[in-house]
């Protein structure tokens, strides 16, 4: 393996040489995204309520995690130019010069092949096929095409992040019924309001990098409207599992209450001016001073959001909690053996 090095600017010693460590290669795999993927895939696997050998279940989850990491590495290779221009991503290993782009690409390809082949041979080829489709969709369709081409990038591309539950379900049962796809639909519809809420308060970063996110192309007002519209579709879809024999009373409570909060926050964003004001931070600084108190609380690299942008940030933060709570409820019901509701029958 090559030994890429980088000069890290430092307050005390400006010539500190930093050598790539194994942790830098691990960072290429986007561990935080990977953890969410593993969680939703595990929920899909257990929600199927079909016994699977614990070791094979663990291998399936491992394959999904490795596949997610592989697509993350391919994304970091291809998007290194964009990542270098954005505050949120410029500390990643490739734009930092810690890992060469070719190495990231190689890691991504090798891990993709390994995860799909292992999934096919150890579990079943339906799960392997779905995993392969997810990797290709994220790395090629989203990263290389949609992301730089259309403001609908995260809407269509969101399918890649939505598929893990059906992969998990297919791993456990060998088939992919409608309830598995309902979990996919929930994540698919959740993605736009989640990412657009984020993009409302970092849209200048996307504009600088030339990424056509919705606030950059259509403006903040249209983005706030789209967030509300997607939320109005998302909430009933999140309630659907209690009609189809997937979710029980616990899920109904979480989905109902969480949905109300989600809708309230989306309405607040819609009525706000979030995203209208330009990011006032100087280009060379990670922290802009918005007042003594906030400046004291802030740390380099941490975002400080003021005014109506707070509504967007609140929605972004709650959206993560909401999705986690929905899947945690399904997971808990499956683990505890709680009966699912079938309100349609």
Partner 1 sequence: MTRKPVDPATKARSGRNIALGLGLVAFVILVFVVTLVKLGGNVGPHF
By CB under 8 A, name the binding residues for partner 1: 1, 3, 5, 17, 19-22, 25, 53, 55-56, 59, 62, 114, 118, 121-122
Nearer to partner 1, 63 or 305 (CB): 63
Residues 176/124, Cβ–Cβ less than 8 Å: no
Nearer to partner 1, 118 or 274 (CB): 118
Smallest separation (angstroms) from partner 1 to the CB of 20: 6
Smallest separation (angstroms) from partner 1 to the CB of 163: 23
Question: Distances in Å between the alpha carbon of 90 and those of 76, 98, 102, 110, 181?
Answer: 11, 12, 18, 25, 35
Looking up tokens 């935080």 gives 32
Nearer to partner 1, 6 or 325 (CB): 6
Question: Distances in Å between the alpha carbon of 211 and those of 55, 79, 283?
Answer: 42, 11, 17
Nearer to partner 1, 114 or 290 (CB): 114
Nearer to partner 1, 60 or 82 (CB): 60
Nearer to partner 1, 47 or 63 (CB): 63
Q: How many CA atoms lie within 13 A of 230 on its CB side?
A: 26
- Give the span between the Cα atoms of 63 and 238, in whole angstroms: 27
Smallest separation (angstroms) from partner 1 to the CB of 68: 17
Smallest separation (angstroms) from partner 1 to the CB of 122: 5
Smallest separation (angstroms) from partner 1 to the CB of 139: 21
- Give the span between the Cα atoms of 278 and 275, in whole angstroms: 7
- Give the span between the Cα atoms of 200 and 184, in whole angstroms: 25
Smallest separation (angstroms) from partner 1 to the CB of 116: 14
Nearest to 251 by CA among 98, 47, 111, 38: 47
């Amino acid at each position: 393996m090559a030994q890429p090095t980088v000069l890290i600017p430092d307050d005390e010693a400006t010539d500190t040489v930093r050598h790539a460590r194994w942790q830098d290669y691990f960072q290429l795999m986007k561990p935080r995204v990977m953890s969410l993927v593993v969680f939703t895939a595990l929920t899909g696997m257990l929600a199927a309520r079909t016994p699977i050998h614990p070791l094979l279940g663990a291998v399936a989850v491992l394959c999904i995690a490795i596949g997610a990491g592989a697509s993350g590495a391919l994304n970091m290779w291809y998007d290194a130019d964009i990542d270098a221009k954005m505050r949120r991503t410029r500390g990643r290993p490739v734009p930092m010069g810690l890992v060469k782009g070719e190495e990231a690409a190689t890691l991504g390809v090798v891990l993709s092949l390994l995860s799909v082949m292992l999934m096919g041979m150890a579990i079943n080829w339906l799960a392997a096929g779905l995993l392969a489709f997810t990797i290709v969709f994220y790395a090629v369709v989203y990263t290389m095409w949609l992301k730089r081409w259309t403001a609908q990038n995260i809407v269509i591309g969101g399918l890649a992040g939505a598929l893990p539950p059906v992969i998990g379900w297919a791993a456990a049962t060998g088939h992919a019924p409608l309830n598995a796809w309902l979990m996919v639909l929930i994540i698919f519809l959740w993605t736009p309001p989640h990412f657009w809420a984020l993009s409302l308060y970092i849209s200048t970063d996307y504009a600088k990098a030339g990424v056509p996110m919705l606030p950059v192309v259509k403006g903040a007002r249209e983005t706030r409207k789209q967030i509300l519209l997607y939320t109005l579709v998302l909430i009933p879809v999140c309630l659907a599992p209690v009609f189809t024999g997937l979710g029980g009373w616990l899920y109904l409570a979480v989905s109902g209450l969480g949905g109300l909060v989600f809708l309230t926050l989306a309405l607040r964003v819609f009525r706000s001016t979030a995203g209208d004001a330009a990011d006032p931070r100087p280009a060379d600084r990670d922290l802009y001073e918005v007042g003594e108190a906030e400046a004291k609380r802030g740390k380099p690299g941490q975002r400080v959001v003021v005014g109506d942008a707070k509504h967007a940030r609140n929605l972004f933060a709650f959206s993560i909690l909401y999705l986690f709570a929905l899947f945690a409820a399904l997971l808990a019901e499956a683990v505890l053996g709680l009966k699912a509701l079938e309100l349609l029958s």
